Amino acid sequence: MPKFLHTADWQMGRAFSRFETEDGAALVEARFEAIEKLAQLANEYQCDAVLVAGDVFDAQTVSDRTIRRVFNATRAFTGPWVILPGNHDAALAESVWTRAERLGAVPDNVHLALEPGVISLVTQGLAVLCAPLTQRNTYGDLTEIFNTTETPEGLARVGLAHGSVQGLLPEEIDSTNPILGNRAETARLDYLALGDWHGTKQIDSRTWYSGTPEPERFRNNGAGFALIVNLPEPGAAPEVTPVETARYQWHQWRETLAVESDLDQLLNRLQALPEPSVVDLRLEGSVTLAGEEKLVDALSVAEARFRSIQCDRSGLQLEPTDDDIAALKADGYVGEVIEHLRTRQQDDNAEAARDALAILAGLLKDRKQEASE
């Protein structure tokens, strides 16, 4: 009985602007590796086919090189690939697909579902009902036609679509490209493979979003998987197995530091993260000069360890303790300046005051060190 790999939302050609150039490049590279990994998994799990439910490309006009590399990355799996255009790479009159075809980049075993209809993979026992986006956005349900689409006898009916299932997903997801919640049932599908939602998500026993194989945002839950779908016999519920494909884990932490132990806890958690991580920290509350020093050291270590770590400390106040100030040996008017900056952290221009205080503390510390040497 047919077994296939369900994936979607590769978003190839996306740039990672919030990171340093080097990190961004590594994250882009990881997405190509993810495709290779999908091919490898398809072989590993002896899949009959790979179904890609839209948004292979992040944009229509990506470079030729990106197009070629995407198709090259599929090479390891020689079985059929059925690729569906999504909202980012809709099958417009001129599209990334027409270009790919012109370039001659599409291997023979890759089927591009550029028009609504059925792609029959007789050998594999699969009839893939395709609902490609031929406009950037539609407001009608493209899968409705599945209800009346007939497929050859003896082949499993598998739907392939890209859009948001109505009434199930959070509101902020595009309300365009709607898909009926129980489409699998109304269209007598054995399985409905969906794309657009970047986290792996089950809608019902026969309907799944595979999610993106490599995370590219902090917000998605459950990104970084592919689904191995086994259809044991006609009419029976499919066996769906999520397999992890992600290279990098993305973490976004919002922490408030109140007491000293908060910082220690945070640093311990950070320590526990695996190396291929992308971390985004935003700290609020307050920290002592000693704590700030500790934090800066820890971040410096983390920068070297992780793929990327970013820390926004603009909401974090510096609260030097009396001991801190005594240790700085800031007497006379410099002492007054420190006090002034401490109180100014409450004002509108808190950020500048905080930074100024940090600079001043740094200078005083350097001087202390020089003096002790």
Partner 1 sequence: MKLRRLQVEQLRQFRQPFVMDNLQPGLNLIHGPNESGKSTLVRAIRAAFFERYRTSSVDDLRPWGDSAAAPTITLDFEAQQKSWHLVKSFLQRKRCDLQIDSDSYSEDEAEEKLAELLGFQFSAKGVSKPEHWGVPGLLWVEQGTGQNIEQAVEHAGDHLKSALNSLVGEVASTGGDELIEQVKARWGELFTPTGKPRGDYQKLEKERQEHQQEIDLLQGRVQKYQEQVDRLGKLAQDYERTEKERPWEEAERQLEQAKERYRQVEKLEQEQAREKETLDHLQRNQQLLRQNREQLENLNKKLKARKTELDKARRELEQAEARSPSISSAVKEAKAAYETATKQVDQARLQQARARLEQDIRRLEQQNQTLTQNLETAKKHQQALDQAREQARQNQIDAQAVKVLKNTEQQLNEATIRSQTIATRLTWQLEPGAKPALDGEPLEGQGEKQLLEESSLVIPGVGTLGITPGGEDLASTRRKLSTLEQSLAEQMKTLTVDSTQQAEQRLTAYEAAERALQQSRELLKSVAPVGTEQLQAEQKETDAQLQTAKTELQNSPQPGQQAPVTDAASAEAARTKAEARLAEAEAEDRKHQTELLTRHQTRDNAQAEWQQLQDEVHNPEHQKQLQKLSTELADIEQKQGRLEASLQARDQEIKEARPAILRQDIERYQRSISNLRQTQEERQRELRDIQIRLEAWGAEGLEEQLNEKRAELEQCNRRYQELHRRAQALDLLLTLLTDKRQALTRRLQAPLQKHLDHYLSLLFPQATLEVDEQLRPGTFTRGTELGQIAELSFGAREQMGLISRLAYADLLQEAGRPTLVILDDTLVHTDTDRLEDMKRILFDAANRHQILLFTCHPEKWSDLGVVPRDIQAMKEQGSANLV
Which residues contact partner 1 by CB under 8 A? Answer: 13-18, 20-21, 24, 58-66, 92-96, 99, 102, 314, 329-337, 340-341, 344, 349, 351-356, 358-360, 363-364, 367
User: Which CB sits closer to partner 1, 49 or 96?
Assistant: 96
Cα distance between residue 44 and residue 27, in whole Å: 25
User: Which CB sits closer to partner 1, 37 or 354?
Assistant: 354
User: Which CB sits closer to partner 1, 203 or 289?
Assistant: 289
Tell me the closest approach of the beta carbon of residue 126 to partner 1, in angstroms.
30
CB 207 within 8 A of CB 192: yes
Tell me the closest approach of the beta carbon of residue 284 to partner 1, in angstroms.
17
Nearest residue to 37 via CA among 239, 200, 226, 193: 226
Nearest residue to 240 via CA among 227, 253, 251: 227
CB 306 within 8 A of CB 273: yes
User: Which CB sits closer to partner 1, 53 or 364?
Assistant: 364
- DSSP string computed for 276-332: SEEEEEEEEEEE-HHHHHHHHHHHHHHHHHSSEEEEEEEEEEE---HHHHHHHT--H
Q: Which helix (H) or strand (E) holds 123?
A: none
User: Which CB sits closer to partner 1, 64 or 260?
Assistant: 64
Tell me the closest approach of the beta carbon of residue 169 to partner 1, in angstroms.
26
Q: Across-strand partners of 317?
A: 286
User: Which CB sits closer to partner 1, 301 or 358?
Assistant: 358
Nearest residue to 345 via CA among 333, 331, 360, 330: 360
For the record, the structure tokens of 308 come out as 């990327």
Helix (H, G, I), strand (E, B) or coil at 157: strand
User: Which CB sits closer to partner 1, 205 or 349?
Assistant: 349
Tell me the closest approach of the beta carbon of residue 23 to partner 1, in angstroms.
10
Tell me the closest approach of the beta carbon of residue 201 to partner 1, in angstroms.
26
Tell me the closest approach of the beta carbon of residue 90 to partner 1, in angstroms.
9
Q: Which residues touch 109 (CB under 8 Å, ≥6 apart)?
A: 78, 79, 80, 81
- DSSP string computed for 335-369: HHHHHHHHHHTTSTTHHHHHHHHHHHHHHHHHHHH
Tell me the closest approach of the beta carbon of residue 359 to partner 1, in angstroms.
6
Tell me the closest approach of the beta carbon of residue 337 to partner 1, in angstroms.
5
Phi first, then psi: give them for residue 281, nearest 5 degrees. Answer: -110, 140
User: Which CB sits closer to partner 1, 43 or 98?
Assistant: 98
- Sole residue written with tokens 């205080």: 357
Tell me the closest approach of the beta carbon of residue 364 to partner 1, in angstroms.
7
CB 13 within 8 A of CB 216: no
User: Which CB sits closer to partner 1, 102 or 254?
Assistant: 102
Nearest residue to 33 via CA among 76, 73, 71: 73
User: Which CB sits closer to partner 1, 140 or 274?
Assistant: 140
Tell me the closest approach of the beta carbon of residue 309 to partner 1, in angstroms.
14
